[in-house]
Amino acid sequence: MARSNVFPALQMFPAFSSVLELFKPITWFAPMWAFLCGAVSSGVPLLSHCLVLSAGLLLAGPLVCATSQAVNDWFDRHVDAINEPGRPIPSGRIPGYWGLGIAIGWTVFSLLFSSLLGFWVFWAATLGLVLSWIYSAPPFRLKQSGWWGAATVALSYEGITWFTGAAVLSGSLPDWHSLLLALFYSIGAHGIMTLNDFKAMDGDRQMGIRSLPVMFGADGAARFACATMAIPQMIVVVELWLWGGGQFSVAVGLLVFAQSLLMIRLLRNPRKFAPWYNATGTTLYVLGMLIAAFAVRAIVAGQP
């Protein structure tokens, strides 16, 4: 009887290049950027805390985010064997139960590493890792829901990592201004995650995954995504103005206006232009995050 492509024969160690591919370094940018925004918002001088800042970036990207990618690939191995047979696990380059072992081992290592960075960082990392597992693993497998799956990724990639960045630098619970921004940018990121689902729309429909593009169609999901991205940012613009950060409010407002112009093109043909918008509009979104973080930094610095 032929061996399964999903569980090929066990070898001693998978190649480092295969493990790195499993960890998908390209996905690390988003949480590391959000972590940096949180660090900026803390009001603590960054250059004098380079070591702890570097440790936090390592936690956000190569540890927690990489763990989430390993967990996702393990529980998607049967689907990938059909749709992406070249991935490290179904191809046999990470054979047997090595994929599960790497996911568990990197989870434990991430928790131990986070414990060195303080109480709040440890619990933020714990929450992020729990969400990573329930997003991919049965019986929860939140990724099968366009509502819960996108919300889980948005919260993990934006809110929790922003919180972690602020907590690492301040060594305490972040300022409420920073927490509020983390919340609203997490809500907006739900729209970004919805746009990401457009590329797998046909496959999701076949596999029974109820992403928002599958449930609402391309046009309905695109309109929802645009509103979800725009409204929280407009609230941030108002907040910054009320907090006394007028110049920051104007800067973020201009970025939101520019995104709205790009959204007009997106809505003409969502399936065609979703990748284009993710390369343009999302860039403006994350730039706004950093500007808002500098606004909170100025506000915190000005408090008695």
Task: Please say whether the beta carbons of 150 and 193 come within 8 A.
Answer: yes
Residue 12 Cα distances to 21, 94, 106, 189, angstroms? 18, 10, 18, 40
Question: Quick one: pLDDT at residue 10?
Answer: 46
Q: CA 67 to CA 247: how far, in whole Å?
A: 39
The C-alpha angle 106, 41, 111, rounded to 5 degrees, equals: 15
Question: Quick one: pLDDT at residue 303?
Answer: 61
Which residue in 261, 251, 245 sits closest to 303, CA to CA?
A: 245
Return the axis-axis angle of helices 161-170 and 29-41, rounded to nearest 10°: 40
For 69-107, what is each residue's pLDDT tens digit? 999 999 989 878 877 889 999 999 999 999 999 999 999
Residues 6+ apart with CB under 8 A from 198: 213, 218, 221, 222, 270, 271, 274, 275
Average pLDDT, the chain: 91
The arithmetic mean of pLDDT across residues 250-267, rounded, is 97
11 has a pLDDT exceeding 70 = no
Select 14-173's CATH number: 1.10.357.140, 3.90.1150.10, 3.50.50.60, 2.60.40.1180: 1.10.357.140
Residue 26: both structure tokens together: 């390209």
Question: Quick one: pLDDT at residue 243?
Answer: 94
pLDDT-derived band at 168 (thresholds 50, 70, 90) equals very high
DSSP code for 25: G
Q: What percent of the chain has pLDDT over 90?
A: 79
Which residue in 120, 218, 122 sits closest to 175, CA to CA?
A: 120
5 has a pLDDT exceeding 60 = no
Fold of 175-304: Four Helix Bundle (Hemerythrin (Met), subunit A) (1.20.120)
Assessment of whether the complete model's pTM goes beyond 0.75: yes
Q: Dihedral of the CA atoms 66, 72, 78, 80 (nearest 10)?
A: -60
The arithmetic mean of pLDDT across residues 3-20, rounded, is 68
Place of tokens 């284009």: 276
The arithmetic mean of pLDDT across residues 49-61, rounded, is 96
pLDDT-derived band at 304 (thresholds 50, 70, 90) equals very low
Which residues of the chain does CATH 1.20.120.1780 include? 175-304
pLDDT-derived band at 8 (thresholds 50, 70, 90) equals very low
First to last CA, the chain: 74
Which residues of the chain does CATH 1.10.357.140 include? 14-173
Residue 98: both structure tokens together: 């090595």
Residue 107: both structure tokens together: 């989870």
Residue 176: both structure tokens together: 């409420």
pLDDT-derived band at 1 (thresholds 50, 70, 90) equals very low
For 187-202, what is each residue's pLDDT tens digit? 999 999 999 888 878 7
Residue 36: both structure tokens together: 């940096």
Contacts for 70-73: CB closer than 8 Å, 24+ residues apart: 70/22, 70/23, 70/99, 70/102, 70/103, 70/106, 71/103, 71/107, 71/132, 71/133, 71/135, 71/136, 71/137, 72/132, 72/135, 72/136, 72/143, 73/22, 73/99
For 264-278, what is each residue's pLDDT tens digit? 999 999 999 999 999
Question: Quick one: pLDDT at residue 211?
Answer: 86
The arithmetic mean of pLDDT across residues 6-16, rounded, is 64
